[in-house]
Amino acid sequence: MLLKVPTEKIPIQEIFIDKKVKLFIKREDLVHPLISGNKYWKLFHNVNNYLGIHIEDPLIITFGGAFSNHISAVSAVGKLLGVRTIGIIRGEELKDKWRDNPTLVFAFRNGMNLKFVSREEYRNKEKLSEFLQQEFPGALIVPEGGTNEDAVQGVKMMLNNETKEFDYLCTAVGTGGTIAGISKFCEGNQKVIGFKVVDDSSLQETIYQLTLKKNFNLIDSSFGGYGKIKDENIRFMNDFKEKYDIPLEPIYTGKMMQKVFELIDEGYFPEDSKILCFHTGGLQGIEGANLLLEKQNRKLII
């Protein structure tokens, strides 16, 4: 059994704004109920190419933090396809607390074997990967966030005839795989904007090596740092949900959309531009975010 291309078309919805540009969002969050958004496409070729060589006892190993969309997605792939999975989780302190974490509980219930490592060990994922490949020589080891050349090829499927009509293509950027795929396979006249939610000075070069194009621009959209959620972010997401009936998560798409609105107000986009934003999913992260916000006696994400 392999991952399949969904039979239903992913909708593109217009976000009606009283401005001199037109704004749309492609609802990749609807691609699959449990393998969300860009994660589905980043895993598509990685998983299918691996399973296509008929490994006797397939095993997928990957990496992620406490509320990782990638960990959630890989665990769901494992359950869907009947494949063993191991998640290498950043932070030994979570070893005795993971049952309070909705993302890790979801992964565990999907059959993922959770292995917790120190943050120092986690930083050297290349060395970790070498050890894991020696211990599990037949395993597929997927990098953190799923970003590699197979992922870039998978992201190609987020583009179609409908996306060709837009002047700007926008996506949130974490590890760089999604923007690399969009940059590599978009039309020559289209401009690609990556809304960077991490403080990583190497991203520009990482993306370029995956796409070999210079048609993309990165804009800081971290709003104080990766994983940081400000009150203004919550207000924006909740207002957006109430006005457009589209949920946003606080780490990636929520920050991207907030920054897009700011850029529109600043006149960044030329008049009559057609802008397409990719909703890359990850809505599972809202529950974990709200647990943290509740402990801080702050407003929750709806």
Residues 6+ apart with CB under 8 A from 17: 23, 261, 264
* Amino acid of residue 31: V
Q: Taking the model in full, what pTM does it have?
A: 0.97
142: alpha, beta or left, given left = phi > 0 and alpha = psi -120 to 50?
A: beta
pLDDT tens by residue, 251-298: 999 999 999 999 999 999 999 999 999 999 999 999 999 999 999 999
Integer Cα distance of 103 and 268 in angstroms: 37
- pLDDT value, residue 1: 83
- pLDDT value, residue 55: 82
Paired residues of 88 in beta bridges? 63, 115
- Asked if the domains 12-34+154-295 and 39-146 are classified in one and the same CATH topology, the answer is yes
- pLDDT value, residue 58: 96
116: alpha, beta or left, given left = phi > 0 and alpha = psi -120 to 50?
A: beta
Mark the ranges of the chain whose per-residue pLDDT is less than 50. none
- pLDDT value, residue 78: 98
User: Which value, to the nearest 10 degrees, does the dihedral of the CA atoms of residues 251, 255, 256, 261 take?
Assistant: 170
- pLDDT value, residue 62: 98
Range 12-34+154-295: architecture per CATH? 3-Layer(aba) Sandwich (3.40)
Cβ-in-10-Å burial (0-12, 13-18, 19+) of 232 comes to exposed
- pLDDT value, residue 239: 98
Residues 6+ apart with CB under 8 A from 293: 229, 234, 299, 300, 301
| Beta-carbon count within 10 A of 189 CB | 8
- pLDDT value, residue 71: 98
Pick the CATH number of 39-146 from 1.10.150.120, 3.90.1200.10, 3.40.50.1100, 2.30.110.10: 3.40.50.1100
Paired residues of 237 in beta bridges? none
- pLDDT value, residue 27: 98
- pLDDT value, residue 160: 97
Q: What are the residue boundaries of the structural domains of the chain, listed by start?
A: 12-34+154-295, 39-146
